[in-house]
Structure 1
Amino acid sequence: MSAWLISLEGTEAGHTLALALAVLAAFLHAVFGALQKGRHDPWLSRGAIDGSYALMAAPFAFFVVPWPAPHMWPIFAGAFVIHLVYKFLQAMAYSRSAYTVVYPVVRGTGSLFAVIGAYLIFGERFTATQWLGMAVLLAGIFGLAIYNLIYLTAARDTLPAALGLAVATGLFVALYTTYDAYGIRAAADPFTFLAWFFFIDGLVFPVLATLRWRAMAAPPSVGPLLARGVIGGVVAFFSFGSIMLATRLDKVGEAAVLRETSTVSAALIGWLVLRETVGPRRIALMALIALGAVIVEFGG
């Protein structure tokens, strides 16, 4: 399968597959965010998810995929640090405001920074139509942020901090998107990168989550938390794995922006599953973000 994927790089079939993978990643990333933000403490949820996908990846890393070349170990170390900071920022943001407040700002600002990073690192350039799409996307993002600042009543004292953390998290989303694209392209076998990435990336947060759980006055039951972790681990494989493969097959910036159609899924999940109040105005602004992403894709 690795040889088949590599043969598609730079082809029209590769572009089509990258498009499908980015759309899949968009939906699954919204599901992943909801799993972390759900009824459990986001730090505990993240620990359970990370531990699950590290255990799932371990046999593939050690016994199935080709062993990484020596030059890959510094790349894995860089990815480990970037993702660790990203997860800290994300958990801090989710701890301070609602999922439908934090998630769109993270994903939208992440797409803008990713486009800039793709230009600086890979020399990718957007057309005028694609930049129009980015303008539409950013209008939705900042419109949503202003709406939340004006109308949100719950957790209002922590909202400015949550939005600031969301923007910082978006910066690291862009950083890991471009860095992971570099890493998966540097690997001879893309599945070697994926297996070792998930194994290494999942080692820290389970320890932090365990310490946090033990320090709680009334810690939640372990069973449901672990079940959420297993589901989240599977979702993570397909979500993060899909976008990483998409960035190897085609342009990094376009894949990163198209993934931000996840804001529509996030709105529906926040409303239907997490019982958060969304409202028609916020849904319209989230749809504007998704529309901008679509314009970017078809303007290329």
Structure 2
Amino acid sequence: MSDLIILLEGTEAGHRAAMMLALMAAFLHALFGAMQKGRFDPWLSRGAIDGAYALMAAPFAFFVVPFPEPHMWVIFLAAWVIHTIYKLLMAMAYTRGAYTVVYPVVRGTGPLFTVIGAWLLFGEVFTWIQWLGVFTLLAGIYGLAAFNLRTLSVGRDTMPMALALAVMTGLFVAGYTTWDAYGIRATADPFTFLAWFFMIDGLVFPVIAGLRYRSMITPPPLIPLLRMGAIGAVIAIASFGSIMLATRLDKVGEAAVLRETSTVFAALIGWLMLRERVGRAQIALMALIAAGAVIVEMGG
């Protein structure tokens, strides 16, 4: 599998594969976000998911993939710091705000700064048509967040803080997308990065979640929480692995923009799973998001 990824890098077939991987990551990431915001406390959800994917990744890290090169440890350390701050901010935002408002703001902030980061770090350049697509997508994402905010009936008192946290979280989304793309390109075998990343990244939040669980007056049943963590871990590995492989195969900026069609999937999940209303205006805004992604892809 590693040889195939390396063979496809920078080719037209690799470009098509990256597009499909980014779209798959979009759907899976929206599903992952709904799981973290859903039945359980967001801190507990994240801890259960992280602990599960650390356990899943450990055998692959130690016994399957090649051992990381010496220079990779600094990259892993920086990635661990960026992701930990991102997850802290994300949990804080979800605790204070509705999923259909917080999630679009996070995902809308990310791609713009990722495109800028990809230009600074990798020298990637977007055409003016692609920039038109980026701003079309952003207009749809932020429009969706604004619409959901206007129609929100509960939790309005905590929403300003939730929105501020969502913007900060989006900046860290851009940071980890760009840095992780650098990391997966810095090692000979891309699966070395993925296996070791998941094992290292999953060490912090289980501790935070465990302390929070013990402090709760009425904690949720442990078995359903752990079951959700195992399912969420599989989704997280598939989602993050897909977008990281996409950034190795093709341009980081394009993959990041395509992934933000996750906002469309998030609205559908909010409607189907969380029973949140989706009207004609939201459908139109979701179409605008999809159109922006198509413009970016066609303008490259």
> TM-score if structure 2 supplies the norm length?
0.97
Q: Which residue of 1 aligns with 2:147?
A: 147
Q: Which residue of 2 aligns with 1:261?
A: 261
Q: Which residue of 1 aligns with 2:95?
A: 95
Structure 1 contact 53–230 (Cα < 8 Å) conserved: yes
Counterpart CA distance in 2 for 1:142 and 1:268 is 16
Counterpart CA distance in 2 for 1:247 and 1:59 is 25
Post-superposition shift, 1:271?
Answer: 0.7
Secondary structure of 1:258's counterpart equals: helix
Range with greater deviation from structure 2 (158-167 or 249-258): 158-167
Structure 1 contact 97–155 (Cα < 8 Å) conserved: yes
Structure 2 contact 101–146 (Cα < 8 Å) conserved: no
The one-letter code of the counterpart of 2:196 is: W
User: When the two structures are aligned, how many residues end up with a matched partner?
Assistant: 300
The one-letter code of the counterpart of 1:167 is: V
1:165-188 per-position Cα deviation (integer Å, ceiling 9, x unaligned): 111111111100000000000011
Structure 1 contact 103–166 (Cα < 8 Å) conserved: yes
Q: Which residue of 2 aligns with 1:31?
A: 31
State yes or no: 1:293 paired with 2:299. no
Q: Which residue of 1 aligns with 2:78?
A: 78
Q: Which residue of 2 aligns with 1:6?
A: 6
1:23-50 per-position Cα deviation (integer Å, ceiling 9, x unaligned): 1101100111111111100000000000
Q: Which residue of 1 aligns with 2:126?
A: 126
Counterpart CA distance in 2 for 1:163 and 1:283 is 22
Q: Which residue of 2 aligns with 1:67?
A: 67
Q: Which residue of 2 aligns with 1:53?
A: 53
Post-superposition shift, 1:149?
Answer: 4.1
Gaps of 5+ in 2: none
Counterpart CA distance in 2 for 1:38 and 1:187 is 36
Alignment CA distance shift 1:280-1:154 (3 Å): farther
Q: Which residue of 2 aligns with 1:239?
A: 239
The one-letter code of the counterpart of 1:236 is: A
Post-superposition shift, 1:258?
Answer: 0.3
The one-letter code of the counterpart of 2:269 is: I
Post-superposition shift, 1:280?
Answer: 2.5
Structure 1 contact 263–290 (Cα < 8 Å) conserved: no
Counterpart CA distance in 1 for 2:293 and 2:258 is 5
Secondary structure of 1:95's counterpart equals: helix
Counterpart CA distance in 1 for 2:57 and 2:145 is 37
The one-letter code of the counterpart of 1:114 is: T
Counterpart CA distance in 1 for 2:96 and 2:194 is 31
Q: Which residue of 2 aligns with 1:187?
A: 187
Range with greater deviation from structure 2 (163-172 or 173-182): 163-172
Structure 2 contact 104–142 (Cα < 8 Å) conserved: no
Post-superposition shift, 1:249?
Answer: 0.6
Q: Which residue of 2 aligns with 1:279?
A: 279
- Moved beyond 6 Å, runs of 4+: none
Q: Which residue of 2 aligns with 1:157?
A: 157
Structure 1 contact 270–276 (Cα < 8 Å) conserved: yes
Structure 2 contact 108–142 (Cα < 8 Å) conserved: no
State yes or no: 1:220 paired with 2:220. yes
Secondary structure of 1:231's counterpart equals: helix
Matched residues, percent identical?
75
Alignment CA distance shift 1:64-1:194 (3 Å): same
Secondary structure of 1:70's counterpart equals: coil
Alignment CA distance shift 1:205-1:63 (3 Å): same
Counterpart CA distance in 2 for 1:4 and 1:296 is 26
1:208-266 per-position Cα deviation (integer Å, ceiling 9, x unaligned): 00100110110000011001100000001110000000000100000000011111111
Post-superposition shift, 1:65?
Answer: 0.4
Range with greater deviation from structure 2 (201-210 or 99-108): 99-108
1:62-92 per-position Cα deviation (integer Å, ceiling 9, x unaligned): 0110000110001000000000000001111
Structure 2 contact 65–191 (Cα < 8 Å) conserved: yes
Secondary structure of 2:220's counterpart equals: coil
Alignment of 1:7-22 (within 5 A): 7-22=7-22
Post-superposition shift, 1:138?
Answer: 1.8
The one-letter code of the counterpart of 2:59 is: P
The one-letter code of the counterpart of 2:104 is: P
Q: Which residue of 2 aligns with 1:107?
A: 107
